[in-house]
């Protein structure tokens, strides 16, 4: 019994884990970082990277540690990591009561992943809505976490400058537009997109004298970098599914 009359043994103990939904763009497609479980439960199934918190560890520290241990991604340049939500359904883990603190993460120019720890292997796989794609049903409730993370990222692209976290330090407006198109799953008019991006204060800034050939026969495209703003005013609203490009926003 504590000095204040609180008995910590009056409540059944439970474990806390972290899970990470890590996205990147590869070959013009949205990819998700998954690990193949090497242990039961769900041995052989794909899952999100993650694991149990150590007693003296914060959730974010555990997330970064598990990412490094299970996938080999440590000190990744440009890693954007943010807490998504907590998942606490009593039966979400067949072993015991486990509450998970989930994170969404973005990685530009993602390095190759390699399995480690209790992960048999790790890989970047194309993301498919419904979380079945090439990786089949995910372990635990990870399909729900993955879908929630994708929805969070898509929504934040409308109101924040998060899209630049998918890009290298210097990027073309075409590369930035591709982030929106891939995450939102819709095509955007290049001229309309360019106008709105350049009219948004602090979104991007042009790199003086820098340009890059983009594969076409035209002149090199100007390079930009993140402009320092965190929110978009006005926002870049995702087009309605049935809207034509000429009538969008």
CATH topology of domain 160-247: Arc Repressor Mutant, subunit A (1.10.10)
Local structure of residue 68 (DSSP, 8 states)? H
Helix (H, G, I), strand (E, B) or coil at 198: helix
Alpha-carbon torsion (90, 92, 98, 101), positive or negative: negative
The closest alpha carbon to 78, from 132, 23, 147, belongs to 23
> Is this model's pTM higher than 0.85 or not?
yes
What is the C-alpha separation between 116 and 120, in angstroms, rounded? 7
Burial class (CB in 10 A: 0-12, 13-18, 19+), 191: exposed
Does residue 180 register a pLDDT over 80?
A: yes
* Longest CA pairwise span in the chain (Å): 77
Cβ atoms within 10 A of the Cβ of 23, count? 24
The residue with greater pLDDT, 13 or 215, is 13
What is the C-alpha separation between 167 and 225, in angstroms, rounded? 9
Q: Provide mean pLDDT across the span 21-30.
A: 92
Q: Considering only 77-86, 108-117, 134-143, 157-166, which range has the smallest mean pLDDT?
A: 108-117
Beta-strand relationship, 98-106 and 15-26? parallel
DSSP H or E stretch at residue 25: strand 15-26
Residue range(s) in the chain whose domain bears CATH number 1.10.10.10: 160-247
Residue range(s) in the chain whose domain bears CATH number 3.90.79.10: 11-156
Under 8 Å between Cβ of 153 and 183: yes
Task: Say what the pLDDT of residue 246 is.
Answer: 44
What is the C-alpha separation between 168 and 211, in angstroms, rounded? 14
CATH class of 11-156: alpha beta
Q: Provide mean pLDDT across the span 205-218.
A: 82
């Amino acid at each position: 019994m504590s000095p204040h009359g609180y008995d910590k043994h009056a409540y059944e103990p439970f474990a806390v884990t972290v899970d990470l939904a890590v996205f990147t763009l590869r070959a013009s497609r949205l990819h998700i970082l998954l690990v193949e479980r090497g242990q039961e439960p769900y041995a052989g199934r794909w899952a999100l990277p993650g694991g149990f918190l150590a007693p003296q560890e914060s959730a974010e520290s555990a997330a970064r540690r598990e990412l490094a241990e299970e996938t080999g991604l440590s000190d990744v340049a440009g890693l954007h990591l943010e807490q998504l939500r907590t998942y606490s359904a009593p039966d979400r883990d067949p072993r015991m009561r486990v509450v998970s603190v989930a994170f969404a993460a973005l990685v530009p120019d993602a390095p190759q992943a390699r399995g480690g720890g209790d992960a048999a292997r790790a890989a970047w796989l194309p993301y498919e809505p419904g979380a079945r794609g090439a990786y089949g049903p995910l372990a635990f409730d990870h399909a729900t976490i993955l879908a929630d993370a994708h929805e969070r990222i898509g929504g934040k692209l409308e109101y924040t400058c998060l899209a630049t976290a998918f890009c290298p330090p210097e990027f073309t407006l075409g590369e930035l537009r591709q982030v929106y198109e891939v995450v939102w799953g819709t095509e955007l008019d290049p001229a309309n997109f360019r106008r709105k991006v350049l009219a948004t204060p602090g979104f991007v800034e042009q790199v003086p004298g820098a340009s890059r050939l983009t594969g076409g026969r035209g002149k090199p495209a100007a390079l930009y970098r993140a402009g320092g703003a965190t929110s978009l005013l006005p926002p870049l609203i995702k087009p309605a599914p049935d809207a034509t490009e000429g009538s969008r926003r």
